[in-house]
Structure 1
Amino acid sequence: MNVACRGHLGDPMGILILAKTLLLGIVAANAASGQDVSFPPVPDSMDGQAYVVTSSKRALIHHIEADERIAARVGELVDAFEPLPGLPAHVPAGVHIVLGHSAGAFDQITGGVVPEWRAGVAIPAWNTLVMPTGEGVRVVDGEGLRTLRHEWAHLGLADYLGNLRIPRWFNEGYAQWASGGFDVGGAWRLRVLIALGRAPEMKTLTLRWPADREEARTAYLLAASAVTYVLETGGEAGLKTFLDRWLSDRSFENAFRETFGVTVGQFEEDWKRHVRERYGWLFLLSHSAIFWLLLSLVLLFMIRGRQSRNLEKLARLRAVELPDVPAWWDLDSSDQVGKES
């Protein structure tokens, strides 16, 4: 999240969910008023546990002693992260990573203003990200690792662009793409939402990022697919050119138009058409096993239904046909032919 709260939902995509909340407003207000918004020291203890620091080349990891091995592994992972797309290899640097051992510790460091379903928080103004370790999130594997990379991308983008205001759809879409993008299952869901007219406009995401879990999930899909479309058009080289122009001109709209040849409004219409045209067949082709399974079930029901009708028809025919051996052919019959009375 940026304050970025990213939650992964238990679907293929495993999502990723985020909410921009009051904490961002507090940081922004302090910055505007000239107050120091550098990283505040992590308390010596949170939620009844003492915190220590493990250092890596690119980060300081704050954790309880019981999480020392996890902290060391987190340091190894972030040191080995590939450069973020379109950004210099050294960003972000000097990051603080707080491994909250409990819900109470997580809320204490974030101010308790992020949704309860969050899985990670990035606070660019403090060059800090917060991850929970005591609530079932595996920080060093699977979705936990993807969340770590997601929050890392938020910090990298903010580090490079400085105090420029980043549209939320681009910020979240970039972090999603940098941490693995989104799967075609998510693309199919987005296609349905757009077809039904239930997908919010990107400009609304600039004003307010949803706090509701399902709405945030949809917003993630919007942002991720939009940035993916941008990168399919211009590639990583185009992304770098765009970010450099944005930093130089200090205008997102102008840099976008100069790099990609369209306004943001025109791009949104092109992107929506692209989603409608592409992801329906992509979903079907990429889930061929599901398709053939459904087709097999349909054929099975058709065959079983036909067999049932054939059996009923055969039973009716047998009911009216002559017996193979009439009763008077039976030698044991009491009415045998030739028997004298």
Structure 2
Amino acid sequence: MFRYLLFSFLLLGITQPFVSAASRGVLERTGLTIVFDEPLRGVAEQAALIYPEIVKELEDRLRLTAPSSSMLVLVKERGIFQQMAMEQIPVIAFAVPEKSLMVVDCSKTSRDSFALDKTMKHELSHLMVHHHVSGRHVPKWLDEGLAQWVSEGIGELAVARKRPLLADRLIPMRALAIRFPPDWEDHLLAYEQSESFVEFIIRRHGIDGILKVLDRLKMEEPWETAVEKGLNVSFDELEEEWIARLQKMQGWFLLVSQYLYEILFFLAALALAYGFLKAYIRKRDYLRGSEREDPPE
């Protein structure tokens, strides 16, 4: 509730330390209202330009419908954004689906159009998922996993870092249904696990499987029941299959790491042999051409 009051203060320009009406701009576009600190007008115009493309891409990939009217708030000052986010974990954006609201910290993204595009995809995914289930509970691992999937792993965290998931260091997926751990390392791991788990589900069951789960969540089924009925597999079995796949991938990774120098040496030898063969063929063709040009007397 306090967060919503902060938004009200921001959007109505009532109080400090939020931006005053004189320094705040508004852009109205079909389906989107953008509120921004005036120095971010260029960013706001860019966001307005790419938003229709983002909506189309996400509707095609997720096969969900975007809310008919959403709001995007672009904040210039990191301190103000942090007060709005009220998160201990450093984030660069967040969504409030029940308000069809996306908020982006442009102190991190204003100079990077790629980051803005991916961040908007991530947050709009949250709005679309919750719009589809009519505000029913969605397990956090599914919500964040889908958002990571459509934004190609670009999340809400202030630091983006990819690392291989180790099967023996995973957080149980049930523990990620309500909230992510407050510890930074575990929080980052939770994002990476969620993306990997959702990618695994889509690989096995397609986006149709995800939609079946969301439809059951919309009918207010408990999330485990929704997963099991939607995918025709128990959640425990699904998680075990995912972990088994990680272990297999981890085994290949360790094998490649163990024989890395041998593999590199072999590839270098192949490249050298290819270069030698190419030079030999070129020289042979040249000599044959010379013989044709200078016939014997």
- TM-score for the superposition, normalised by structure 2: 0.73
Consecutive unaligned residues of structure 2, counting only runs of 5 or more, are 155-160, 269-297
Q: Does 1:153 align with 2:125?
A: yes
Indicate the SS of the match to 2:169.
coil
From 154, 169, 175, give the equivalent of 2:141.
169
* 8 Å Cα contact 1:98-1:129 kept in structure 2: yes
Alignment of 1:265-276 (within 5 A): 265-276=236-247
The Cα of 1:108 is off from its aligned counterpart by 4.0
User: For residues 2-59 of structure 1, what are the alpha-carbon distances to aligned partners after superposition, in whole Å with 9 as ceiling and x for unaligned?
Assistant: xxxxxxxxxxxxxxxxxxxxx7xx67xxxxxxxx99x736142754552121112221
> What letter is aligned with 2:216?
R
Q: Percent sequence identity over matched residues?
A: 22
Q: 225-234 vs 256-265, which deviates more?
A: 256-265
Q: Which runs of 4+ in 1 moved over 6 A?
A: 282-285
Instruction: Say if 2:261 is the partner of 1:261.
Output: no
SS at 1:136 equivalent = helix
Match of 1:132 among 86, 93, 105: 105
Counterparts of 1:119-268 in structure 2, within 5 Å, are 119-133=92-106, 135-138=107-110, 141-181=113-153, 186=162, 189-190=164-165, 192=166, 194=167, 197-248=168-219, 250-268=221-239
Larger Rg: 1
Question: Which residue identity is paired with 1:266?
Answer: E
On the 8 A contact 1:47/1:104 being kept in 2, the answer is no
Alignment partner of 2:68 out of 93, 96, 108: 93
Say what the alpha-carbon RMSD is for the aligned residues.
3.5
Distance 2:105 2:126 in 1: 17
> What secondary structure does 1:40 align onto?
helix
Task: Output the CA distance in 2 between the equivalents of 1:139 and 1:96.
Answer: 21
Hey, what does 1:32 align to over in structure 2? none
How far apart in 2 are the matches of 1:141 and 1:279?
Answer: 34
| 1:170 and 1:223 in contact (8 A); partners too | yes
Distance 1:143 1:115 in 2: 22
SS in 2 for 1:122: strand
Q: Does structure 1 retain, via aligned residues, the 8 Å contact 2:138–2:217?
A: no
User: Number of aligned pairs?
Assistant: 254
Contact kept in structure 1, 2:118 and 2:151, CA below 8 Å: yes
Q: TM-score, normalised by structure 1?
A: 0.64
| Aligned residues of 2:58 and 2:125 also touching (Cα < 8 A) | no
Residues in 1 aligned to 2:223 and 2:111: alpha-carbon distance in whole angstroms? 33
Structure 1 residues 167-176 or 114-123, which shifts more? 114-123
Cα separation, 1, equivalents of 2:129 and 2:209: 16
User: Paired residue for 2:33, among 53, 60, 66?
Assistant: 60
Q: Whose helix fraction is larger, Structure 1's or Structure 2's? A: 2
Greater Cα offset, 254-263 or 136-145: 136-145
Distance 1:167 1:105, change over 3 A: same
Name 1:71's counterpart in structure 2: 44
SS in 1 for 2:124: helix
* CA separation of 1:46 and 1:268: change in aligned 2, threshold 3 A: same
Deviation, structure 1 residue 139 = 6.8
CA shift at 1:176, angstroms? 0.7
Q: Partners in 2 of 1:167 and 1:102 — Cα distance?
A: 31
Amino acid across the alignment from 1:79: P
CA contact 1:87–1:157 (8 Å) conserved in 2:
no
Q: Give the SS at the match of 2:224.
A: helix
| Partner of residue 8, structure 2 | 40
